[in-house]
Structure 1
Amino acid sequence: MLLDTPFEWLKAHSPAWGESTGFFDHKIHVLVVFLPVAFALGLAEVIGHLHISPWIILFVPIVALVPIANCISASTDVANEKLKINGHPTLGMLLNVTFANVVEIIVALIALFVQKDEVIALYSLIGSWISNYFLLMGVVAVICSFKGCTFRGMNETTAQTHTLLLLLASAGYMLASALPFFPIHTRIVTAQLFLGVAIMFVVLYAVFVLGFQLRTHEAMAEDQPSSFREGSRERKVSTAVKQDKAPDHANLSVAVLFMAATTLLKSVGISKIFFALIILPVFGNLFEHWTAITAALKGNLTGAFNVAAGSALQIAMGVLPLLIIISHASGKHLDMAFDVSQAAVILSGTVIIGFAFSDSRTHWLEGLVILFISMLSALLAWFQIA
């Protein structure tokens, strides 16, 4: 059952199975074979009968997540196209951003409630924020400049609004991370402050989505990208949105991933912070990266920015604060504070992006500067111990 279920699910739930729909087409679906392999390796690791390199056990479940995320992305694109045709582009954009973050959400939930590892739960989401906003926007600007793309220019309202909210989120997390250095710092006061800030962020994000994006400024999503190639609307699609089994298969890969991570961190000496902040988000955000880069190569900088900033904003003001609220309700008290140097990098990086895109245009040097922000974060994480 375990061996054939992933293939049956993939064939039933992936749009246009067997026909080419772009770079991430049916050819990548063969990677689903890594799902039962990941389970077998994880079982062997638990039993202890096989002595397998932790690097192999780490690599296999990461690869297994790729076709799962692809199916989620492709199915979401079908619904996205239908929503755009029916005059609801913003709803399509929100759906795209939400399902793009499914893997990261699963990782954080398993880390917090199954593995009981607050460091990975917190830093995996912070890493998704950094990966989606700084790494992705830097790569988009650099690649497009060297490819000779002509930017149409971003929607000024889109750029300013996302940057403003991310700047607020950055300041909030920066203050939370610096709180232990203040005289008022006590465990009870800190927990209450974290909970209060988290509730404020969730409320503000809800107002932004329900009031701003869906009502007063719905036109901002007109340039949102789709990972399908031109002309794909006419293709026959087997299903619109059938992601019901995707989280189950992703859970399996993530569980094995945590087993491998535990062994790898002990044997190789990689810090838990570096693993959660850098390694996990690179693979978890693969399809947001591809969609944004594809949009930018077509000169759609607004679309690329919507994917990168929209996903980062949902993590910073939606997913992470909501996880903090849930953890407090369950008695776990997940901290909002993380390393103050990382918080400073995020805050300063958000300010830099605000300056870079203030004229609604960009070039390769600005992209390189933004890219170096993510590199600085990776360098700091490499020397951190957790």
Structure 2
Amino acid sequence: MLNTNNLLSLLLVFIPISIAGHFLHWGSTTLFVTSAIAIIPLAAWMGTATEEIAVVLGPSLGGLLNATFGNATELIIGIVALKAGLLDVVKASITGSIMGNLLLVMGLSMLLGGLRFKEQTFQPIVARTNASSMNLAVIAMLLPTAMDVTSPGIDEITLQRLSIAVAVVLILVYGLTLLFSMKTHTYLYDVGLAEMDPSDLSEVNLAPDTKEDKVNLPLWIGVLLGATILVAIESELLVASLEEATASLGLTALFTGVIVVPIIGNAAEHATAVTVAMKNKMDLSVSVAVGSSLQIALFVAPVLVLAGWIFGQPMTLDFNPFELVAVTVAVFIANSVSSDGRSDWLEGTLLLAAYAVLGLAFYFHPVI
């Protein structure tokens, strides 16, 4: 019977298939689908390599490495799309990643975990801290958009300068959240770890120290570098075929950026969050889902704004108002559901229903 690891290993065959498709000039749809599938196992290998290296580096440096590479796939896809001038797709993927983690991943985790266990619990203090950080992210997206809407004729350079300044603030806040979680208030995040099995700990880079002697550091560094390079190559193929492929499939660039691209980049991480939730480790599952959203909002999005400035692309935090509404709704309902530190299958269903409604809205949203 195939398990998750075997299935991901089988998907690696799409790497040579997609590259061959590029040189043999296969259709855009075929190239888009094969490169998208190829990115999924590569993202999983990047995550595994990061976890193994983190064991050797220790809690502080390992935590920093995980925080940096946790959403490397989305960052690479974003940078490639940014260089190609697909700014709307980049912004849509940021929106979709936040929505997907807060609603789809956390919803699936609560639903499937709740079907196995009547009620599950996690730390409400951590949930409230994460909620405050997500509220800041919404404000950071809201103000540039509000300035554009309320100030007709505002020039693009002013919006970009504002976005760069806000991006610097968000990156500083992200650094402070790492300091908070890994240094000054680690006890809040360590609650319940002693009760976890080693197999559960290893799924979130917290394996016992005794594993350090068994880690082949050069091997995993090579795997991380190799997977990163291949993700960059596959991202180039994905982005190059994106516009024609989505048009032939009857999808808009907005729907593709918000729904399709984030699912591709986050598939492996989604599986981890759901798996640990089904083992009654909801603390861990919520940390993966919400932590990934925070990283997208406070690190990946600001880095893409700075990258746009470097590449000469006018990347700003001025989002489509409809995208902004979707993010606000996702943050609101996720904060509402997680504030009490408990979950059940019905709350998971509500999150999934919210994701489905937003997904349908983006699907039927007319091309602007």
TM class, shorter-length: 0.7 to 0.9
2:10 alignment counterpart: 30
Provide the residue aligned with 2:46 in structure 1.
72
Q: Kindly provide the CA deviation profile for residues 173-223 of structure 1, in whole angstroms up to 9, marking residues without a partner as x.
A: 13333332203650143233222222221121122213x123211223424
Measured after TM superposition, the shift of residue 297 of structure 1 is 1.2
Which of 90, 96, 100 is the equivalent residue of 1:127? Answer: 96
Change (3 A) 1:353 1:268: closer
Indicate which of 10, 21, 29 corresponds to 1:55: 29
Residue 215 of structure 2 corresponds to residue 215 of structure 1: no
What is the TM-score with the length of structure 1 in the denominator? 0.83
Cα deviation for residue 91 of structure 1 reads 5.1
1:265 deviates by 2.7
CA offsets 1:356-375 (integer angstroms, 9 cap, x no match) = 12211112222222222322
Is 1:281 equivalent to 2:250 in the alignment? no
The one-letter amino acid of 2:113's match is C
Matches of 1:221 and 1:23, distance apart in 2: 30
Structure 1 residue 168 corresponds to structure 2 residue 144 = no
Normalising by structure 2, report the TM-score: 0.86
Q: Find the residue that maps to 2:317 and give its secondary structure.
A: coil
Establish whether residue 350 from structure 1 lines up as the match of residue 331 from structure 2: yes
1:42 to 11, 14, 22: 22
Please list, as runs of the form range in 1=range in 2, the aligned pairs for 1:216-255 lying within 5 A after superposition.
216-222=184-190, 223=193, 225-227=201-203, 238=216, 239-242=219-222, 243-255=224-236
Shift of 1:135: 1.1
Name stretches of at least 5 consecutive residues in structure 1 with no aligned partner.
1-19
Q: Which moved more, 1:25-34 or 1:194-203?
A: 25-34
CA distance in 1, matches of 2:51, 2:181: 19
Kindly indicate whether the alpha-carbon contact (under 8 Å) linking 1:142 and 1:363 is maintained by their aligned counterparts in 2.
yes
> CA 1:198/1:116 → structure 2, altered by over 3 Å: closer, same or farther?
same
**SS across alignment from 2:255:** helix
**Residue 55 of structure 1: how far off its partner (Å):** 3.4
SS at match of 2:85: coil
Aligned match of 2:196 = none
Segment of structure 1 superposing worse, 133-142 or 234-243:
234-243
Equivalent residue number for residue 108 of structure 1: 78
Measure, in 2, the Cα distance between the counterparts of 1:201 and 1:231: 30
Distance 1:67 1:38, change over 3 A: same
Unaligned runs of 5+ in 2: 194-199
User: 1:12 matched to which residue of 2?
Assistant: none
- Asked whether the equivalents of residues 97 and 293 of structure 2 are also in contact (C-alpha less than 8 Å), the reply is yes
CA 30–365 in structure 1, closer or farther in 2 if over 3 Å, else same:
closer
One-letter code aligned to 2:203: S
Name the structure 2 match of 1:99: 69
Q: What secondary structure sits across from 1:359 in the alignment?
A: coil
Q: Provide the identity percentage.
A: 25
Q: What amino acid is the match of 2:33? A: F
User: Residues 183 and 63 (structure 1 numbering): CA distance in 2 closer, same or farther, change over 3 Å?
Assistant: closer
* SS of the residue 1:308 aligns to: helix
1:250 Cα deviation (Å)?
A: 1.0
CA drift of 1:231 comes to 9.4
Alignment of 1:260-271 (within 5 A): 260-271=241-252
Shift of 1:230: 12
Residue 307, structure 1, aligned to residue 277, structure 2: no
The answer to whether the aligner puts 1:181 opposite 2:145 as a matched pair is: no
Amino acid at match of 1:175: L
CA RMSD for the aligned pairs? 2.8
Structure 2 counterpart of 1:14: none
